[in-house]
Chains A and B, each alone.
Chain A
């Protein structure tokens, strides 16, 4: 028997019991839609979280904490930097050392405390560091400052009310009102020698202001100094990095030979994983957003599997309907099946026709279910944030997606739906092949 004729048989059979078949398809569609919508929440939230994580960080950045040697970590040296720069796919390797006290900066009557770093500017520029104003330092006493440095440079007054009550930031009228580029500011560092607390002032010129960080809520109020200023601080305190509260005289080696903070920048996102793997292989302790992504994705994979499992129960319930419909169809058509068997219809063909019929219900149900799921998904994404904001008066993060239906989810859902429906049609189909010819012709079934 040809496929085409089998399909014609099925069409005729379905026509005879339109309402019953429609209801069964409806149940299957509802099961399928339920599965997809349920799991789509897992997919949607994962997408949102991943997107958010990627936006919050420089995705091509790999942080390196140290190098593992016999179970201990050591700081990275210039040799390490050379090696890192030689790795394929690496765009830049930045390295910073932090002054281990917080110096006071003064300009006229304005003052600010700020974290202070010495860094390698050429590699920072390569990594994407940009100025909003001025130029890069060229001389030893030239510095650049972070975009928010000026916001903290405020008049020193006993009046507590220099802070804005709402934002917690210094009020505009107390902030240094002018451009910083070209200004000379004094850096005051402290010393802790045998109980004597001396200070030392170094005069610096601001030559540039960094661009604002990409994220709104991030602030950069740091000051970036040259290596010689850093050395001058160390000389004054007699401690590595100008650290306070430890015995001076510990300044054995040049601390700028090792680096506090090393970041590797890949040329593009695709290269990050390869570089990260290679670094881990070579005993570097690293962190990259790719690692975090793996953990997030793992978590969501488990959640999605759980949701799909719950959704599958709905399809299994719908499949009971298919089992019923097919059993009734077989019973109703038993006389016809008996006649067909008598004149020589192959039992395999008869089984095939019924399996095809239940698959047809499954396929149509899955298609309708998928379409409905897409509609629900769109409605949820539009409606739910609205409702939540109304009900809880809480602003939701922008671009938050509750429900997403990637093609893979459709494949999984349709696959499960077809598998379950075909399975449920199997037994009735087998029963059809077992119909006794003589009984059927005597209309005894």
Chain B
């Protein structure tokens, strides 16, 4: 599903003439198979989010290649990557990233609108997702009127509404209490077994990492297979 080859990334800091280079990822290579849940762990600042942002196409790598499915996404233009994200990837963020002026229903419907689905199929599909995450009765609530767990469920529903084969999650439980966290992890497991959705989950939480079939550790920008952080 995901192939990362000899990935290097550094950030350039400072203004022109006074630049410093901050290397973040060094020679990272790994694979994620279809249907796998892979956890990426590591200390804060080790470069986990940077890795995920590179795979998502939010930033462009300094060096190396990323393949998703059989597509070499590192060659994609911004527009092509946007389309690719819409159709092949779902995202779960630590801070949910819901649009505050839209209701739960509208937030979940957004990817369907972007894809150009018809209004009737949109409504049906959105209600289906609301049902799946158990928020039917909250469909007209705005994000500010929902609890953190409910918001994260809305964002999961939004990530899944177009049935992407791959879901990328950056600290999905970071803003949740332990009870909601457990609920969410169960849900992820269920989606994986029922629908065969592939997950790449970034976390610094051992508990969360444990739901992965496999764990990858990043330390000082370098990759270590296994959970020996």
Interface residues of A (CB under 8 A from B): 1-2, 5, 12, 16, 336, 339-349, 437-438, 441
With known contacts A16-B101, A344-B86, A1–B78 Cβ distance under 8 A = no
Extra inter-chain contacts (18) besides given A343-B91, A344-B111, A441-B97, CB under 8 Å? A1-B115, A12-B101, A336-B100, A339-B98, A340-B110, A341-B82, A342-B97, A343-B159, A344-B84, A344-B85, A344-B114, A345-B114, A346-B79, A346-B82, A347-B78, A438-B53, A438-B59, A441-B95
- Determine whether the beta carbon of B53 is less than 8 Å from that of A1: no
B146 contacts A by Cβ under 8 Å: no
Q: Which 3 A-B pairs have the closest CB atoms?
A: A344-B86, A344-B85, A437-B58
Interfacial chain A residues near B97, Cβ < 8 Å: 339, 342, 441
Instruction: Give 1 or 0 for each of B81-101: 1 = CB within 8 Å of chain A CB.
Output: 011111101010101011111
B17 contacts A by Cβ under 8 Å: no
Minimum Cβ distance to chain B for residue A18 (Å)? 14
**Interface magnitude class on chain B:** 20 to 34
With known contacts A342-B97, A344-B82, A347-B79, A1–B116 Cβ distance under 8 A = yes
- Determine whether the beta carbon of A1 is less than 8 Å from that of B114: yes
Interfacial chain A residues near B95, Cβ < 8 Å: 441
Tell which of B82, B91, B93, B100 touches A345, judged by Cβ atoms closer than 8 Å: B82
B113 contacts A by Cβ under 8 Å: yes
Q: Of residues 66 to 84 in B, which have CB atoms within 8 Å of A's CB atoms?
A: 78-79, 82-84
Distance, CA A340 to CA B109, complexed state (A): 12
Tell which of A5, A12, A346, A437 touches B83, judged by Cβ atoms closer than 8 Å: A346
For B118, the closest partner residue in chain A by CB is: A2
- Determine whether the beta carbon of A343 is less than 8 Å from that of B110: yes
Interface residues of B (CB under 8 A from A): 53, 56, 58-59, 78-79, 82-87, 89, 91, 93, 95, 97-101, 110-111, 113-116, 158-159
Interfacial chain A residues near B82, Cβ < 8 Å: 341, 344-347
Distance, CA A12 to CA B110, complexed state (A): 14
Instruction: Label chain A's interface by main secondary structure.
Output: helix
- Determine whether the beta carbon of A2 is less than 8 Å from that of B79: no
For A8, the closest partner residue in chain B by CB is: B113
With known contacts A12-B101, A336-B99, A441-B93, A343–B79 Cβ distance under 8 A = no
Interfacial chain B residues near A349, Cβ < 8 Å: 114
For B95, the closest partner residue in chain A by CB is: A441
- Determine whether the beta carbon of B58 is less than 8 Å from that of A348: no
For B89, the closest partner residue in chain A by CB is: A344
- Determine whether the beta carbon of A348 is less than 8 Å from that of B79: yes
Minimum Cβ distance to chain A for residue B113 (Å)? 5
Interfacial chain B residues near A341, Cβ < 8 Å: 82
With known contacts A2-B116, A336-B99, A441-B93, A343–B58 Cβ distance under 8 A = no
18 residue pairs bridging A and B, Cβ less than 8 Å apart: A2-B113, A2-B116, A12-B101, A16-B101, A336-B101, A340-B114, A342-B56, A342-B85, A342-B97, A343-B85, A343-B86, A343-B91, A343-B158, A343-B159, A346-B83, A347-B82, A437-B58, A441-B93
Tell which of A343, A437, A438 touches B111, judged by Cβ atoms closer than 8 Å: A343
Interfacial chain B residues near A1, Cβ < 8 Å: 113-116
Distance, CA A411 to CA B100, complexed state (A): 41
Interfacial chain B residues near A348, Cβ < 8 Å: 79
- Determine whether the beta carbon of B99 is less than 8 Å from that of A339: yes
Tell which of B59, B87, B99, B101 touches A344, judged by Cβ atoms closer than 8 Å: B87
Distance, CA A275 to CA B110, complexed state (A): 69
Tell which of B91, B101, B116 touches A342, judged by Cβ atoms closer than 8 Å: B91
Distance, CA A311 to CA B13, complexed state (A): 50
Distance, CA A348 to CA B159, complexed state (A): 22
